[in-house]
Structure 1
Amino acid sequence: MLFKSRIIFFFFLIFSNWLPASAQGGRIPARAENGMVSSSHYLASEAGRDILERGGSAVDASVTTAFVLAVTLPAAGNVGGGGFLVYHGANGKSTTFNFREKAPLAATKTMYLDEDGKIRDNSNHEGILAVGVPGTVAGLYKAHQKYGKLKWADLVQPAIEIAEKGFAISPEIEGFSTWLLANKEDYESTARIFLKDEKTALKAGDILVQKDLAETLKRIRDKGPDGFYKGKTARLLADFMKSEGGIITREDLRNYEAQELEPLKGLYRGYEIIGMPPPSSGGTVLIEMLNILEGFDLSEKGHNSAESIHLLTEAMRRAYADRALFLGDPDFNEDMPLEKLTSKEYAADLRNTIQLHNASVSDSANFSEAHLIYESPQTTHFSIVDAEGNAVSLTYTLEHSYGSKIVVKGAGFLLNNEMGDFNPIPGHTDTRGLIGTEPNQIEPEKRMLSSMSPTIVAKDGKPVLIIGSPGGRTIINTVLQVIVNVIDYELNIAEAIESPRIHHQWLPDVTRFEDWGFSPDTKRIYEEMGHKIELRSVQGQAMGIYIDHETGMIYGAADSRSYDGKAVGY
Structure 2
Amino acid sequence: MKKRVICLLAALCIVLTGAAWAVDFQDVTARHGMVSSAHELASRAGVEILQKGGNAIDAAVATMLALNVVEPNASGIGGGGFMVVRFAATGEVVFLDYRETAPASATKDLFASEQAKAEKWSVLGGRSVGVPGQVLGMFTALEKYGTLSFAQVAEPAIRLAEEGFEVHPMQTGIIADNFEKMAAYNDLDRSAFFEGGLPIEAGKTLRQPGLAKSFRLLAEQGPDAFYRGPLGEAVVASVNASGGAMTMKDLQGYAVKVGEPVQGSYRGYQIFSTPPASSGGTHIIQLLNIMETFPVSSWRHNQPQHLHTLAEAMKLVFADRGKYMADTAFVNVPLRGLTSKEYAAKLAGKIKSDAVMVDVEADYPWTYDNQKAMAYVGGTDDQHISTSHFSVVDAKGNIVASTNTVNYFFGSGVVVPEYGFVLNNQMDDFSSDPQSVNAPEPGKRPLSSMSPSVVLDPQGRPFMTIGAAGAWRIITAVSQIIMNVVDFGMTMDEAIEQPRIFTYASGGKRGPLRMEDAIDPDVAALLEWRGHNVEVQPRGGYYGTAQGILFVDGVMHGGADSRRLGVPVGY
TM-score by length of structure 2 reads 0.88
Note the C-alpha offset of 1:244. 2.7
Does residue 541 in structure 1 map to residue 542 in structure 2?
no
Does residue 474 in structure 1 map to residue 482 in structure 2?
no
Deviations 1:421-453 (A, max 9, x none): 0011234xxxxxxxxxx2311111100000111
* Structure 2 match to 1:357: 354
Fraction of identical pairs, as percent = 40
Distance 2:326 2:140 in 1: 23
> Which residue of 68, 90, 112 corresponds with 1:70?
68
Secondary structure of the equivalent of 1:440? coil
Note the C-alpha offset of 1:118. 7.0
Note the C-alpha offset of 1:347. 0.8
* Root-mean-square deviation over aligned CA pairs: 2.0
Does residue 561 in structure 1 map to residue 559 in structure 2?
no
Q: 2:199 is aligned with what amino acid?
A: A
| Equivalent residues in 2 for 1:512-523, closer than 5 Å | 512-523=513-524
Does residue 418 in structure 1 map to residue 416 in structure 2?
no
> Which residue of 379, 390, 397 corresponds with 2:387?
379
**Distance change in 2, residues 1:240/1:521 (3 Å):** closer
**Distance change in 2, residues 1:149/1:190 (3 Å):** farther
Secondary structure of the equivalent of 2:397? coil
| Equivalent residues in 2 for 1:234-273, closer than 5 Å | 234-273=232-271
In the alignment, is the contact (CA less than 8 A) between 1:486 and 1:493 conserved in 2? yes
Distance 1:33 1:322 in 2: 41
**Distance change in 2, residues 1:487/1:127 (3 Å):** same
Distance 1:364 1:354 in 2: 13
Secondary structure of the equivalent of 2:127? helix
Secondary structure of the equivalent of 1:526? helix
* Structure 2 match to 1:399: 407
**Distance change in 2, residues 1:196/1:268 (3 Å):** closer
Distance 1:519 1:533 in 2: 13
Deviations 1:76-117 (A, max 9, x none): 121101111111121311011001100010000111232x59
Distance 1:410 1:305 in 2: 53
> Which residue of 55, 74, 78 corresponds with 1:80?
78
Distance 1:230 1:194 in 2: 26
Pick which of 478-487 and 174-183 moved more.
174-183
What residue ranges of structure 2 are gaps of 5+ in the alignment? 1-21, 363-379
Distance 1:117 1:292 in 2: 42
Note the C-alpha offset of 1:33. 0.9
What residue ranges of structure 1 are gaps of 5+ in the alignment? 1-21, 366-371, 428-437
Distance 1:183 1:108 in 2: 24
Q: 2:156 is aligned with what amino acid?
A: P
> Which residue of 318, 328, 336 corresponds with 1:330?
328
* Structure 1 match to 2:17: none
* Structure 2 match to 1:346: 343
Deviations 1:386-430 (A, max 9, x none): 101111111011111111121012221100001000011234xxx
Distance 2:285 2:52 in 1: 36
Secondary structure of the equivalent of 1:286? helix
Q: 1:134 is aligned with what amino acid?
A: P
Deviations 1:175-212 (A, max 9, x none): 24445666665132465223554344311111111111
Secondary structure of the equivalent of 1:465? strand
Deviations 1:301-349 (A, max 9, x none): 221111111111121111111111111111111x211111111111111
Q: 2:498 is aligned with what amino acid?
A: S
TM-score by length of structure 1 reads 0.89
Secondary structure of the equivalent of 2:468? coil
Q: 1:354 is aligned with what amino acid?
A: I
Secondary structure of the equivalent of 1:420? helix
Distance 1:542 1:183 in 2: 27
**Distance change in 2, residues 1:204/1:147 (3 Å):** same
**Distance change in 2, residues 1:383/1:191 (3 Å):** farther
Distance 1:105 1:99 in 2: 17
* Structure 1 match to 2:377: none
